[in-house]
Each structure stands twice: as C-alpha cells, then as structure tokens.
Amino acid sequence: MKKRITLKDIAKNFNVSIATVSKALKDSHEISPNTKSKIKEYAKLHHYKPNVTALNLLNKNTKTIGVVIPNIMNTFFAKVFMGIEHIASQKGYQLVSCISNESYEKEVKTIDLLKHGHLDGIIISLAEETQVKQNVTHLKNTLNEGVPMVMFDRVSDELECDKVIVNDLEGAYHATCHLIKSGCKKVALVSVIDNLSVGKLRVEGYKKALTTFNIPIEERLIVRIGHHEDFDTVMKIILADKSIDGLLCLEESAAVNVLHLVKRMTYKIPEELSIACFTNGKLLQHLSPSISAISQHGKYIGETAAKMLIDRIENEDLPKPCETKIIKTSLIERESTKQF
Amino acid sequence: MKKRITLKDIAKNFNVSIATVSKALKDSHEISPNTKSKIKEYAKLHHYKPNVTALNLLNKNTKTIGVVIPNIMNTFFAKVFMGIEHIASQKGYQLVSCISNESYEKEVKTIDLLKHGHLDGIIISLAEETQVKQNVTHLKNTLNEGVPMVMFDRVSDELECDKVIVNDLEGAYHATCHLIKSGCKKVALVSVIDNLSVGKLRVEGYKKALTTFNIPIEERLIVRIGHHEDFDTVMKIILADKSIDGLLCLEESAAVNVLHLVKRMTYKIPEELSIACFTNGKLLQHLSPSISAISQHGKYIGETAAKMLIDRIENEDLPKPCETKIIKTSLIERESTKQF
DNA sequence: ATGAAAGCGCTAACAA
DNA sequence: TTGTTAGCGCTTTCAT
C-alpha cells in the first residue's frame, strides 16, 4: 500500500512543527489564520487522513465492535446482523464480523482473535456446539478481562452480561394456543434444535399451552430429531398416529421438511394438519401452503443489542447492573393454520 | 474496559527494561533462560496479550480486510460472505464488514470509514444505486491511494483492479438454450435488475441463445420491471400472449413473484410454462414446483476473491497486472423445466 | 545478558 | 502564535 501522507510530511513541507500542523488541522485558535489555511489546503490537496491506528493507540478505543454469529445463511441471524450494522454505522462504529459456523473450536479461536484485536466490545450468539458442550469459559475469561459484551438469542446463564433474547417460551405458548383454538385436538412438536437453550424454552411454552387447555402432555408427541437421524423416517413413524392434527416446528428447516413430507402423504393442510413454525423468513412465506410463523423480529434484536453495547462502552465510568431485554414475538397467520 | 497488562507493567515488576521483557517473550537467545522463564510465567499468569494496535502502528498492516456487500439478506451475497470469511479466518485475517444497503451514499460513507481504518485491502460488490449512477470516483480514489481491492459480481469497467465475476452471459445463454431444447417455442425474459451490469449481461446471453436457434429477438419479450412498477400488472399484460411458454427470470424475487402469479392463473408448469432463474437459493429449491436455477457458486466466488486479495496484499513488492477471474455457472434442473 | 534510544503517527500539556 | 516534550505499547538496532 502506498505510503499515506502524515503530519510529519506536512510539517516538513512548511518547516513548522508537527504540533502546529495538528493544531491547524483541528482549527485550533492558537494558530494564525494564515498558517491554518495554508496547511489545510495542502492537507486536502494531498488527501491527508489521520492514521486511525495511531489514534486508537492514543485513545485506547477503536470504535470497533466484534460480532460473532453462528451462521449467516440463517435468515434470523442475517436479520440480526443487519440490525447491528444499522445502529453501529449510525453511531460510527465498525463491525469486525466472525462466523462461528456452529463450531465450538471456531468460536474459541474467534474470541481469541477478537481479544487480540483490541476492540471496544463484543456481540455474540453461541454456537450450537458450545451450547451442547456447555463450556463458556472462553467467554467468562473475556468478561473477566473487562470486555463489554452483549449476548443475544443463544445465551448462557453462566455469563453475567447484558442479553437480548426473544420470549421463546411465550412464542411457543401462543402458537400452540393458536393451533388448539383453531380446532387442533392433538398437537405434536418437532425439534431439531433440542441442543439449544431456545429449543428447550420453546418446548416449555408448548407444554404450558397444553396445560392451559387441560390437555395431557404426551412425551411421545415431542419429537426431537438429532443431526444424524433421518428426518423423514422419524416423522413418518410419528405421523402414523393419524389423530395428530397440529404441528409446532421449532425452526424453519423442520417445517420445510415436514411440509414436503406431508404433501407427499397427501395431507390436506390446514384441515387435516395445521402447521406453525418459529422464525419468519421468506421461505415460510412463499411455500405453498404458506406457513404460519412466529416472528422474532431479528432486526430489532440486532438494533437493541448494538444499542446496549454501545451504551455500555460509552458509559463505562457509570457502571450499571447487567440487563436482559426480552423482545416479544408475534404470530403471523398464514395458510397452514385454520382461521377461527 | 479494564486496563490490560503491558510490557511496561511486567518490566516494572522485575525491575528490568521493557526491551528485555519483549525479547524474553519472543524467546530471544540474548536473554538468559532464567529471566526468560520468570517473565514468561508471569506474563501467562496475568494473561498478557500484545497490543495489536501498537503492532499495527509499527508494522503498518492490520491483517484486516474490509468487505462491502450490498445486502446480506440476499442468499448469493451471504454465500459469498461465507466464502470470504472462510479463507480470511484460515489465513489469519479479520473482516470489517459493511452493508451498503444498495445505497450509493452509504457505500461512499463506508469506503471513507474503511479508508480511515487503515486496513490492508477491500473486497466489494457495487450497490445498485452506484451502478445506476455510474459514479465510482470514490473507488477510483481508493485505488489511486494504493489500497488493494478486489471486486466481485457487480463490477465496473472503469476500475482497474482484480475482479471475480460469474459468466452471466453464458449462464443466461445455457439456461435459455435449455428452455428451447426442452421444447419452449417462445421464451420471455423477466428482469428487475436491468440497472445492474450483471442484468445487462444476462440479457445478452438470452439474445445469443435465441440467435443460435434462429429465433428472432422480440424486444417485447424482454420485460424490464422497475422498482416502482407493479410486478403483477406488468406480467399480466405480457402473459396475455398465451404463446409464451418459457420464462427466464434474472433473479430470485422475479421467479418467486412470477410463480405465485402463474399458479393463480392456473398455468400448468412446466408443460404450459417453463421457468428458469438465476441464483440458487433455498427458496427456489423448496417452492412447488421447484424452480430450475443457474447456480453462481457464491461461496467459491468469495473464496476466490479473498485469496486474490490476500495474495496481492502479501506480495505487494512483486506487482502483477490486474486479473479478472470468471467463475462458471451451472444449471440445476428442477421441476419448473421439462426433461428432454 | 541487559538496556537505552529511536521510531511508528498522533495529541496535549506546557514552554517559549 | 509556535514549538518542545512526553507518551500511547511495542520492536529493533546498537550500545554496554
């Protein structure tokens, strides 16, 4: 990269000191108007830009936020990212972004890299593997070192920091209630994310809804499918029970797969089988039939997280207790559930 | 943020000079094994991490790449981003990412921010508005200042730098040929991206295919729909011509919208109307019928761009002429086109 | 084997 | 009004 012009270069050109140049460019009153304009003009002509690295070293802040996201192909995370980006750029922060790819090891490496990088704070959602391992010492250390951190969606109780989460329990509760109220007699739940904190909470919400309607909870109807199991096979077995007429899917891919399957099985949707699903992406919207979804307001979550972090960074002197913001979900009714 | 331990702190603790500590931690032979081990142990105990900002200032490199992407919700760009991330993290580079949101102004602001930030290089795909305005002076300046840059997908001829593009012309050509060979007599083209360089190239490819099969080009069949026009209205008018039996959509949303429309119009797909579309995302795969797609291999594009940039960064001393890599597309046949 | 000093680019307190 | 100096955290050359 071509050497950029520095204060020193400008100073040399005019035979003045570096300090004079610095002050002149800052429009300081202690510099004569004459010198000021000379210097400014020269600086502009030569595209002078202060060296941010030097300023960072001086100020001990970098106006940079590290963002760790499990998977950017996931609509929800992409939306959150947009939200973070929106606020960050508005407040003059840059984003150093890392994709953990759901891997514990990559997450640890990433955090290490980020800590090296002297950034002002971190926004993170845990990798799936990290939630399975339940090992968050890398983050605990980060926190201990005083790095401001905000977690979102996939959080850990062991970490004492600001958090932004969705009311997963309530979201599942409302969706299940909706299925029941629309006439479903037997609602099953399909989860491929039982590893995740949010997955567990959603199951709770489902159970709560059944209880509300005095429907006995049948563990058999809570279908947890692991990564290495064949989705269709497991589902066919459970759907052998023809009295199942409602399905709560805990994330997009489950709903998509289920839909393909039951269409092949010539189910009538929503009459014979109603489906509701977490995460509101384009996919659910455009399938036929379109699938009723629980929107988690990803962009808003990202914006909230970014605001919380920046607030903490810029007000470190007045420490506040950690806060957990809970974002309400909303149910978007589509063709896969019955009107009532 | 809690103050981190520095070389100075360690030096003070042992009453040695900063230089000694620095050397000790680097395992220099000029330091006695005794002092070395003492210092190293202490450093580890106190989680000493070198201050990267200081090192950057010294080395004049930051191991950081700026990535400017028009829209992260777009599957293609998300895939490219994954590819960039993959190579970057493998080679020890961080990513500062910006979303231009298809806005010229945001892109200019972003580039400015990035240039301030003293990064090693930039990977960028132009915002739609930038391509419309055809104003790339902000990037020309950046290039003139010697910042290594790689463009991908939405590139500009005015910029002399490395590029990674898809063979849009050929992709459209093959898809159109496929439609014709499968028996379509009248293939129309639907574009909502006629603003973009890639959009124009795809139209060329379409025309070339018609020419190859001695089919006269009818401008009427090249449907360009602006952002402010009503998609369905325009399409209904064109589809009034019932002899149209093939459709080449230049990007995902056009295909999705068309599909909804023609299903309502009770077209039989692919018998009465075949559809092929650029960009291979989950959406096209899961629609019913699923839509034949031209895959652009986004992840590979990202990986290629990252490799090119890092190569240029790390070998600035031996300058090479700019290079444009062309990634081949591939056609993925699905239910929306006929077998033959 | 250890340290002093210069320098990366910049700011700011203090002198002149 | 301008300059000197010290310092942010680190590396490196050249003494000692």
- Terminal Cα distance for chain A, rounded: 66
Task: Give the pLDDT confidence score for residue B187 in this predicted structure.
Answer: 98
Residues 3-22 of A with CB under 8 A from B: 4
Q: How far apart are CA A1 and CA B316, in angstroms?
A: 7
Question: Contact B215/B244 with Cβ under 8 angstroms?
Answer: no
Peptide bond preceding B289: is omega within 30 degrees of 0, i.e. cis?
Answer: yes
What is residue A273's predicted lDDT score, i.e. its pLDDT? 97
The answer to whether A270 faces chain B, any CB pair under 8 Å, is no
Is A263 in Cβ contact with B288 (below 8 Å)?
yes
**Nearest residue to C8 via alpha carbon and C1':** B58
Contact assignment for B98 to A85 by CB distance below 8 Å: yes
- The residue-averaged pLDDT of A119-144 equals 95
Burial class (CB in 10 A: 0-12, 13-18, 19+), A208: middle
Distance from CA of A217 to the nearest CA of B (A): 33
Q: Say what the pLDDT of residue B113 is.
A: 83
Q: Name residue, tokens 């509701």.
A: A276
Sequence-distant (6+) residues with CB within 8 A of A41 are none
Read off the pLDDT band of A115 (50, 70, 90).
confident
The stretch A161-167 carries a mean pLDDT of 97
In a 3-state reduction of DSSP, which class is residue A45?
helix
Q: How many CA atoms lie within 13 A of B140 on its CB side?
A: 9
pLDDT along chain B (340 residues), means of 10: 87 93 93 93 93 90 94 96 96 93 95 84 97 96 92 97 97 98 97 96 98 97 96 97 97 96 96 96 93 97 98 88 97 96
Using an 8 Å CB-CB cutoff, list chain A residues near B88. none
Residues 55-114 of chain A: which lie with beta carbon within 7 Å of strand C?
55, 57-58
Q: Using an 8 Å CB-CB cutoff, list chain A residues near B257.
A: none
Confidence of residue A18 (pLDDT cuts 50, 70, 90): very high
Q: A78 vs B73: CB contact, 8 Å cut-off?
A: yes
Whole-angstrom distance, CA of residue B230 vs CA of residue B242: 20
In this structure, the number of other CB atoms found within 10 A of the CB of residue B34 comes to 8
Q: How far apart are CA A99 and CA A107, in angstroms?
A: 8
Please say if the pLDDT value at position A2 is more than 90.
no
Q: What burial class does residue B319 get, using C-beta atoms within 10 Å of its C-beta: 0-12 exposed, 13-18 middle, 19+ buried?
A: exposed
Residue A116 scores a pLDDT above 80: no
* Residue B51, nucleotide of least CA–C1' distance: D9
CA/C1' separation B8–D11 (Å): 13
**Of the partner residues A60, A72, A79, the one whose CB lies closest to the CB of residue B81:** A72
A50 touches strand C (CB under 7 A): yes
Determine the pLDDT at residue B20. 94
Please indicate if any CB of chain B lies within 8 Å of the CB of A264: no
The reported pLDDT for the residue numbered A149 is 97
Q: B155 is written with which tokens?
A: 């590139």
Asked if residue B265 keeps its beta carbon closer than 7 A to nucleic acid strand C, the reply is no
Kindly state the average pLDDT of the residues A194-210.
97
CA distances from B242 to B212, B230, B265 (A): 24, 20, 11
Spatial neighbors of A223 by CB under 8 A, at least 6 apart, are A188, A189, A190, A191, A234, A235, A238
Domains, chain A, with CATH or none = 7-50 (no CATH), 61-165+298-327 (3.40.50.2300), 168-296 (3.40.50.2300)
- What burial class does residue A61 get, using C-beta atoms within 10 Å of its C-beta: 0-12 exposed, 13-18 middle, 19+ buried? middle
